[in-house]
Structure 1
Amino acid sequence: MNPRWTLLLHLCSWPITSGGALKRNLVLALLTLLLLLPFCKEKESEEPTQEVFFEVKAGESTSRIALRLDSLDIISHHRLFVISAKLKGLDRSLQQGVYRLHTNMSEDSVLLMLSRGAIATVAVTIPEGLRLRDIASRLTKAGVVNQDTFLALCRDKKLLLEFNIPFGSFEGLLFPDTYSFPLGILSEDVLRVGILPEDVLRAGILPEDVLRAGILPEDVLRVMVRRFFEVAEPMLREVSLDTLLILASIVEREAYLEEERPVIASVFLNRLKEGLPLESCATIEYALPRHKERLTYADLRIPSPYNTYINTGLPPGPICSPGKASLEAVANPKKTKYLYFVSKGDGSHYFSETAAEHEQMKRKLNKERSRNGA
């Protein structure tokens, strides 16, 4: 044991009689002086570091926490940890949650982490343009939710009513962003040992039977939906929720170049004003049971409310989660008279005001593709 800890324990064991005021003051002074020194655990520099997930439970005492930290070799002596916490006024400030610690941390660092609530989190990035099922899959792979449970919540009528959502699900409303969710521990082995298998640590993935998000799946959903409304709130002053979200989701799937988003949005808005079908291939892809690399003319005739080739107006709901750029494109579209666009094959598009121009451009592109063997 570190000589400093030996001295401290020896001082703590001194008997102090009623007449030993001088001895009492000396003991307290020495205790204070020693504990104000760097509060650290001395280890050999070559000692390997072991990452440990440690859970502070609700209502757990500092002494109980210290005993468990000591048993995992995170701290050197639980009694000194408790004394330090009391002297620093932190003994009632250790916060509930799961912490990512390691076995060569100083006791002072551990105490500060637990008192500040620097809990371990799992980060999940949701890119633009994903559908509900794809978002649920990503959250599940990260150990945040159970996929089936989460998808059921995305269609829960009470939750939809909570946010006044006019659609049958939260499709499109789980905003694309990077989220950090607190961890919780499920596995009794991890609770007992505190150490994850090496392959799990390397992969950075949290299996459902080991770790989970320390947050309810419905609260995960709420976090993502609230993020959408934070971003969309200024735009909803100009455009209704259904128009903004549905069209932005279509723009998200149709546009490749950032500068074309406001132009593509203008095409769909112009077609709505003219009473023309939107004729978006992205909505056909959403309606199909399986993804197809290339749509056929037969696909354009499938009976679905999402088929914007045979139905006028907006489809029943969004087809993906659009990003901020697509939402802004619908709220502030470019002023054009375009009613048509066709892909050049490189991510960009030709835009036309009339059907004749559009057909002419399609013939030109088809000839070019034939010459190139496409």
Structure 2
Amino acid sequence: MRTAAKAALALFSVIILIIGAGAWYVWNGMKPVQGQDKPTEVTIEHGTGTSAIADKLEQQGVIKNAMLFKLYLKYNNQGSSFKAGEYAFEPSSTYEAIIQKLNDGEVIPVETVRVTVPEGYTIEQIAADLSEQGIVEKAAFLQAADKIAKSKPEGITLNLPKPNDQVKHGLEGYLFPETYEFAVGTSAEDMIIRMIKETEKRLIEIQDFDEKLQARKMNLQELLTVASLVEREVVVDEERALVAGVIYNRLNKPMRLQIDATIQYALDKPKERLYYKDLEIDSPYNSYKHDGLPPGPIASPSIESIKAALSPEASDYFYYVTKKDGTQTHLFAKTYDEHLRNIEKSKQ
């Protein structure tokens, strides 16, 4: 009996010892890592699973034991809401603090820069503006734009035009005019892709866009070309649809558009005032010498100009001239004789 009692006592002691050792192992494994004097930065990529996150946290010294962290997550039904990003974990972070940070997506604040693309800007103007602000070199931006135009990268679903030797810049008109916020150091290519995606987003938001475009028997390149002409010709929003209608009237006549903005785009440097000799410039964009639309957009059109090009206002007008009274509105005419009278009237 004594022998049996001793054996039972020994077994009990061993069990207690094992339980104690196990408890100590778990307790010690879950304790915050000591000895760090600064935050540990960990990058969690998109699509990384909970198990891989735990392994990474152990590898980078944020936690002591990945297996225990996984068990803790499973027991507490955590981990499904972890967010990707670059994190900084403070020294001696507890499991609760780590989980909270990952759930909230409390990533390291990124230094950003605001970039504004004004309505009616050309790609070259956008590039020059970014260069002047020290954000990206003009040549690098234009080179990236040409590269994307020739080989559309993954992630862009917008129907970009096919390369055309007559087109000055393949992405002209496709970089939406808006204020963007980019992380400092963002590449020119990523900036351009973001601007293209914004164009696609805005087009999708237009009700029945595809149906209206199809009804006009136009492709996107042609629509954005008309919209860019409207953008460069019109300041007052209320006149955009009417001017778009005049453009279509001249195209359907057919009459040459004879829009000064196309000459300005064709010139190496825009001029404050055009002369008759400028109207003779040899360029496919010269709407005084060539029938129909220019080969592509001449600027980044606003959403208002795009809508006007998509849904123009019907009229019998074929001409318009800007008033010189500071209102920046136009006088419209049905005939050339009436247009000549309006030119004189606009000077008053």
Given the two structures, how large is their TM-score scaled by the length of structure 2?
A: 0.66
Q: Which of the numbers 197, 203, 207 marks the counterpart of 1:223?
A: 197
1:249 Cα deviation from its structure 2 partner: 1.0
1:91-142 residue CA offsets vs partner (Å, 9 max, x unmatched): 798665445x6979x8766644545667667565544322223445667765
Pair 1:19-2:12 in alignment: no
Q: Does residue 233 in structure 1 map to residue 210 in structure 2?
A: yes
Are the equivalent residues in 1 in contact too, given 2:145–2:171 (CA < 8 A)? no
Aligned to 2:73: 88
1:266 aligns with 2:245: yes
The answer to whether 1:250 aligns with 2:229 is yes
Residues 300 and 175 (structure 1), Cα distance of their counterparts in 2 relative to 1, 3 Å cut: same
Equivalent residue for 1:316, pick from 266, 289, 295: 295
Q: 1:216 to 1:25 in 2, by over 3 A?
A: same
Aligned match of 2:9: none
> Contact 1:272 / 1:313 at 8 angstroms: preserved in 2?
yes
Q: Does 1:165 align with 2:172?
A: no
From 318, 330, 340, the counterpart of 1:349: 330
CA drift at 1:328: 1.3
SS in structure 2 at match of 1:351: strand
1:291 equivalent in alignment to 2:291: no
Structure 2 residue matching 1:294: 3-state secondary structure:
coil
Query: 1:309: Cα distance to partner?
Result: 1.7
Q: In the TM superposition, what is the alpha-carbon distance from 1:319 to its structure 2 partner? A: 0.8
Structure-1 separation of matches of 2:100 and 2:181: 21
Question: CA–CA distance in 1 between the matches of 2:136 and 2:82?
Answer: 26
- Superposition deviation, residue 354 in structure 1: 1.5
Matching residue within 106, 109, 123 for 1:132: 123
* Residue ranges of structure 1 left out of the alignment (5+ in a row): 1-15, 40-49, 71-76, 184-205, 369-374
Answer yes or no: is the 8 Å Cα contact 1:124–1:138 preserved in 2: no
| Higher gyration radius (CA) | 2
Which ranges in structure 2 are unaligned for 5 or more consecutive residues?
1-12, 33-37, 165-169
Structure 1 residue 327 and structure 2 residue 275: aligned? no
How many Å separate the matches in 1 of 2:136 and 2:210? Answer: 30
Offset at 1:271? 0.9
Cα distance in 2, alignment partners of residues 300 and 56 from structure 1: 58
How far 1:363 moved relative to its partner? 1.5
Matched, 1:147 2:148: no
Aligned match for 1:361, one of 339, 342, 345: 342
**SS of alignment partner, residue 336 of structure 1:** coil
| Pairs within 5 Å for 1:39-50 | none
After TM superposition, give the deviation of residue 29 of structure 1 in Å: 11
Q: Give the secondary-structure state (helix, strand or coil) at the position aligned to 1:305.
A: coil
Matched residue SS, 1:342: strand
Q: Equivalent pairs: percent with the same residue?
A: 27
Tell which deviates more after alignment, 308-317 or 128-137.
128-137
Partner of 2:4: none
Q: 1:109 to 1:20 in 2, by over 3 A?
A: closer
Contact 2:174 2:196 in 1 (8 A): no
Count of residue correspondences = 301
Q: 1:294 to 1:222 in 2, by over 3 A?
A: closer
Cα deviation 1:22-77 (Å, max 9, x = unaligned):
7589879989xx99xxx9xxxxxxxxxx9998644687754654675x7xxxxxx6
For 2:273, give the aligned amino acid.
R
- 3-state SS of paired residue (1:298): helix
Would you say the 8 A contact 2:262–2:298 is kept in 1?
A: yes
The answer to whether the 8 A contact 2:146-2:171 is kept is no
Q: Tell me by how many angstroms 1:163 deviates.
A: 3.4
2:260 aligns to what?
281
Query: What is the RMSD of the two structures over their aligned residues, measured on CA atoms?
Result: 4.7
Quote the Cα distance in structure 1 between the aligned partners of 2:225 and 2:204.
Answer: 18
Give 1:307's aligned amino acid.
N
Q: Report if the CA contact (8 A) 1:267-1:340 is conserved.
A: yes
Would the aligned equivalents of 2:150 and 2:163 in 1 still touch at CA under 8 Å?
A: no
